[in-house]
Amino acid sequence: MHLHGEYKQPGAKLVVVDMDCSNGRLYGVRVSGDFFLQPESALDAIDAALCGMPADASEETLAAAVRAALDSGVLLYGISPEAVATAVRRAVDGGAAA
């Protein structure tokens, strides 16, 4: 099942998540939006951290997975692990974009 979620944190940028869900797990996760990351390869790390996560994982668990996947030197502009987690939960829960 294909899932799509969006979240715009107040004062920040739009985070979009597209993914599939099968057997209670997230697959093919692709995070995008109007934010910036340095280095850009950090986006691949975020996607990989979310792949295989349980579809019923809490926002806190998802944000922790994203945070753990990022090297200490990664710079996030207009995005946070919590914003990514909110977009994922909205996708899974069928919530509308903010």
pLDDT, position 97: 41
pLDDT in tens, 3-18: 999 999 888 899 999 9
Distance separating alpha carbons of residues 79 and 84, to the nearest angstrom: 7
The pTM of this model reads 0.92
CATH code for the domain defined by 2-93: 3.30.390.50
Residue 1 has pLDDT above 90, yes or no: no
pLDDT in tens, 44-88: 999 999 999 999 999 999 999 999 999 999 999 999 999 999 999
Note the pLDDT of residue 98. Answer: 40
